Amino acid sequence: MEKVTRMGVSLDPELLKEFDAYIGTHRYTNRSEAIRDLIRDALATEEWAKGTGTVVGTITVVYDHDAHQVVDKLTKIQHRHHHSVHSTTHVHLDEHMCLEVIVVQGRPKDVLALADSVKATKGVKHAQLARTAGK
Amino acid sequence: MEKVTRMGVSLDPELLKEFDAYIGTHRYTNRSEAIRDLIRDALATEEWAKGTGTVVGTITVVYDHDAHQVVDKLTKIQHRHHHSVHSTTHVHLDEHMCLEVIVVQGRPKDVLALADSVKATKGVKHAQLARTAGK
Amino acid sequence: MEKVTRMGVSLDPELLKEFDAYIGTHRYTNRSEAIRDLIRDALATEEWAKGTGTVVGTITVVYDHDAHQVVDKLTKIQHRHHHSVHSTTHVHLDEHMCLEVIVVQGRPKDVLALADSVKATKGVKHAQLARTAGK
Amino acid sequence: MEKVTRMGVSLDPELLKEFDAYIGTHRYTNRSEAIRDLIRDALATEEWAKGTGTVVGTITVVYDHDAHQVVDKLTKIQHRHHHSVHSTTHVHLDEHMCLEVIVVQGRPKDVLALADSVKATKGVKHAQLARTAGK
């Protein structure tokens, strides 16, 4: 069973009306769910910006597997940074293009260094870090 | 007198504790104020993304006034887009560098076209659009 | 063999000096690599904003698997949106928390609707969409 | 006269073709102009993230001047942070709503604290910090 705390929030009626429309568009079942989401987004941004503690996220990499020995290079980079790598999934987008998702967990500094190394690898078309939080 | 509506939000206690720390760091006087801010940020982002209605914002431009007749060019661009320009303020950062703030109001499409024109002007060092909302 | 086009870019020396420092910090092997990355970031942002064509990305979801039948709900959502879902990977972060990465491919509109549904699911702690591009 | 350095950038032809379309959409006169802009965006983001040196930017504030003595409060905040405030411009959006642009210059830490104080002021509808750079 999860415990839940209830708090009151005061809003002027016009803002609430606009927020209810937003809730509808984004498919939330109720206002609490939507507000929790806004709070968690703000906290995750904060956690990554502070640079301390342990963060969780993913690095999504798109590359052409035929070019520049990129598979080899990405494998080496991940082993060098194995303390920050939880696991990796490989997806074949088409005949040439691959998408790889690296699940990362560790100190923000280490994870950002890993993401930089991946981004800077010759042959990588695009790489993006999603910053989430483990709690 | 402003009318105010009160709504209840349920949160698990751990999330609330982290949010209270966030509120302290960011100097909010109470939780409602912080939540209203998160809501307004989300709504402003939405309004600009939808592309309809009237939006409000500012374009901040930094440039070297000695180079490339940039003052003339920026003046011409603003006149060409005068329907989207509310007013402009000029600040002297140092002997060479100027900062200009263009207050913009209009359809997202028109405002974005103006921002693109400003950004693309030879001699402009940096330009950035702040997307806010009039409500 | 990949064909390569060469183009000339003119920069004032001070900007180039700062850019070279940036290249060092971010571990790029040369300027071309760094510039290609900036270009691809700009193009991926554009592609998602335009809303047409096919985009590729990932949704990273963090949740407590004990709560609110969230596993069931996420499975149902992914089946309902199976045209946009390429594959999903599940990672056990600790005794309670799970991280799931959904690889998405499709029209921006459909992918955004799926991301909204995932985010709005009761029990999901955090969800984030990484917007990349398949080319 | 501004000195200019020329550097060569190699791109695969398909990426260049897409980039040329991007340049057209965003009204750049040539590729160098567009690339300089991408570089400056990356450098400004970096400068703010590093937290050292002097940054330049603007805080755009929207508020209802009738409510909560917000004008008084904003004036007091700006005086308390006068080392970071360069100047302020006031715009009347309609009968009730005001937009104020505060030009800020100083250490990132101080400027962020000022932006937080402005955002957290009761009566402020929306506030946004535009992060640019003075060089």
pLDDT digits (tens, 9 = 90+) for D82-105: 999 988 888 888 888 889 999 999
Interface of A with B in 7-26 (CB under 8 A): 7-16, 18-19, 22, 25
Contact yes or no for A8 and B5 at CB 8 A: no
For residues C17 and C74, the answer to whether their CB atoms sit within 8 Å is no
Quote the radius of gyration of chain C (alpha carbons, Å): 20
Predicted confidence band of residue A2 (pLDDT cuts 50, 70, 90): low
Name the neighbours of C, counting chains with at least 3 Cβ pairs within 8 A. A, D
pLDDT digits (tens, 9 = 90+) for A81-128: 989 998 888 888 888 888 999 999 999 889 999 999 999 888 888 899
Return all residues near D97 (Cβ < 8 A) that are at least 6 apart.
B134, B135, D62, D63, D64, D65, D125
For residue D21, the model assigns a pLDDT of 92
pTM: 0.79
Predicted confidence band of residue B87 (pLDDT cuts 50, 70, 90): confident
Tell me the average pLDDT across C23-44: 89
What are the residues facing A80 on neighbouring strands? none
For residue B31, the number of C-alpha atoms closer than 13 Å in the C-beta half-sphere is 21
Q: Does A128 touch chain C (CB under 8 A)?
A: yes
For residue B93, the model assigns a pLDDT of 83
Interface of B with A in 57-76 (CB under 8 A): none
What token pair was written down for B43? 């709504």
In the predicted model, is pLDDT for residue C123 greater than 80?
Answer: yes
For residues C33 and D29, the answer to whether their CB atoms sit within 8 Å is no
- Chain A residues close to C1, C-beta within 8 Å: none
**Rounded distance, CA C131 to CA D42, Å?**
18
Q: Does B49 touch chain A (CB under 8 A)?
A: no
Distances (CA, A) of D97 to A52, B37, B122, D63, D65: 40, 17, 35, 6, 6
pLDDT digits (tens, 9 = 90+) for B96-120: 888 999 999 999 889 999 999 999 8
Tell me the average pLDDT across D40-64: 86
Predicted confidence band of residue C115 (pLDDT cuts 50, 70, 90): very high
Q: Does C83 touch chain D (CB under 8 A)?
A: no
